[in-house]
């Protein structure tokens, strides 16, 4: 096993809860809004 693959093998695995949240429609809608808000803030900063 290479050093890189060893490092990957030691990386934290998402828990079942995290995996569920990543697919949960209700939770993801809130993440969608939050991320797009953050992105818009960044974009408006770039347009001065």
Asked whether position 7 contacts other proteins by CB under 8 A, the answer is yes
20 lines the binding site for other proteins (CB under 8 A):
no
* Residue 23 sits in the site that holds other proteins (CB under 8 A): yes
C-alpha distances (whole Å) from 32 to each of 5, 6, 27 are 32, 34, 9
Residue 22 · residue 28 · CB < 8 Å: yes
If one asks whether residue 43 binds other proteins (CB under 8 A), the answer comes out as yes
Which stretches of the chain bind other proteins, using CB under 8 A? 2, 4-5, 7-14, 21-23, 25, 28-29, 31-32, 35-36, 38-47
């Amino acid at each position: 096993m290479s050093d890189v693959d060893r490092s990957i093998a030691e990386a934290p695995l998402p828990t079942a809860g995290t995996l569920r949240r990543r697919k949960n429609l209700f939770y993801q809608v809130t993440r969608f809004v939050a991320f797009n808000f953050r992105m818009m803030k960044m974009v408006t900063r770039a347009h001065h």
